[in-house]
Amino acid sequence: MTDRHPVWESLIPPSQYGLPARHAVAAEGTRIRFADGSWALCATSGLWNCNLGYGNKKVADAVADALLRSSYLTLFRGGHDLAVRAASALLGVCGPEFGRVLFSTSGGAANDVMMKLVRHFHALRGEQRRRVVVGLKGSYHGLTYGSFSLTGEHLGQELYGVDQRAVRHVGIDEAELTSLLAREGHRVAAVVLEPVLGSGAHPVPPEFVAAVGRLREEHGFLLVADEVATGFGRTGSYFASHDWPVVPDVLITSKGLTNGTCAASAVVVSHEICEAFERADSVLVHGETQAGAPGSCAAILATIDEMRSLDALAAAKDNSALLDGLLERISAHPLVRGHRGIGCFRAVELEPGVSAQVVTAARQTGVIVQPGPDCVQLVPALTYGPEEFAELESALWSALDQVAS
């Protein structure tokens, strides 16, 4: 028996498991400490989920208190007070158009739930044929089987036997969507939009969203805002869809929902959807053991409180302006082709084929960034200050110079 590393690490080959330079042992504020003794400035907010930085004491204390009072309570065939309070608080920040919260455990799982929900909704209205869900090319909705089918990047769906027969993908192109709906509009249950396409940080223009809204009126599908990555201040508004010209029927949130502390997500639905299930007194056949558990609900409540206490939306706007300046200056580097994104969700566009090298070089200069298709992502915590941005800019310049030499 070989001395095999015990953890199957995500999205890297086994030869790279357990490397001390990538094995984290602590995290605090905006920095992570690794097993080799080094500290690194995190420019990714974990996996875009620690919007308020690492180690927020109020969130941690709220989770600890909930676990001591009731280590586990279920939403199967019942409920509990913390879930009611967390759902009410979440509805309060989502807006009056929404009526109920369905808790889940991850962004991918929440997208799975959503696909079941929209199909069930149309079946309750006598439209069982509406089973097709439409996503965007280049989108990322997760890697569980349902969300993997909706993800608009080619990431091995065929290898894993992912069933995409009831899923379609279109570009950010009104004509392409209109053409699809002309053929299959009577079968479409929902159109799902990320306000900013996940891996590449491509913002979806408001003009396209407005077009989707007009087509919704014509064809009767539901509009879903997948705000797993963009929620909780990431783009400057509490949810990016708050700036849309139309209101979605379903809003999905995760990542920043618990400031990265608990495996939690939520599917927030309109009053119309609630009423359809209530009229029929119909049961959505879905449940997850840890969905809406006390610890995660306490984390949601504390995170919402901390968003308010820290004035995180104002901080997001300030940091967006600082990122504007950083990106304009870094664009002068020969390897940089431009930049894109909104708020604190950005990407530095690079010459083809160098993004992985830049990520490695940045880590050597003391900064953690994530690669995207021919880009590196900059997704800093909303709690960054000018000093962190100056450090990030210097490290990026050094990394780019190292790759270019």
Could you read off the pLDDT tens digit of each residue along the chain, which spans 405 residues? 578 999 999 988 999 998 888 899 999 999 999 998 999 999 999 999 999 999 999 999 999 999 999 999 999 999 999 999 999 999 999 999 999 999 999 999 999 999 999 999 999 999 999 999 999 999 999 999 999 999 999 999 999 999 999 999 999 999 999 999 999 999 999 999 999 997 889 999 999 999 999 999 999 999 999 999 999 999 999 999 999 999 999 999 999 999 999 999 999 999 999 999 999 999 999 999 999 999 999 999 999 999 999 999 999 999 999 999 999 999 999 999 999 999 999 999 999 999 999 999 999 999 999 998 899 999 999 999 999 999 999 999 999 999 999
Under 8 Å between Cβ of 107 and 228: yes
Whole-number Å distance between alpha carbons of 68 and 71: 6
Q: State residue 267's pLDDT score.
A: 98
Which pLDDT value is given to residue 190? 98
With beta carbons less than 8 A apart as the criterion, state whether 384 and 319 touch: yes
Look at domain 57-309 and name its CATH class. Answer: alpha beta
Summarised one tens digit per residue, pLDDT across range 157-181 is 999 999 999 999 999 999 999 999 9
Predicted pLDDT at 20? 87
Which helix or strand (DSSP H or E) is residue 350 part of? strand 345-350
Whether domain 14-55+311-404 has CATH 3.90.1150.10: the reply is yes
Longest dimension (CA), the chain: 67
What integer pLDDT is reported at residue 1 of this predicted model?
54
Within 8 A by CB and 6+ apart from 169, the residues are 134, 135, 136, 137, 139, 152
Q: What is the pLDDT of residue 21?
A: 83
Q: Do domains 14-55+311-404 and 57-309 have the same CATH topology?
A: no
Q: What digits encode the pLDDT tens for the residues 47-63? A: 999 999 999 999 999 99
Instruction: Judge whether 264 and 62 are in contact, CB under 8 Å.
Output: no
CA pair distance 95, 247, nearest whole angstrom: 10
Domain ranges of the chain: 14-55+311-404, 57-309
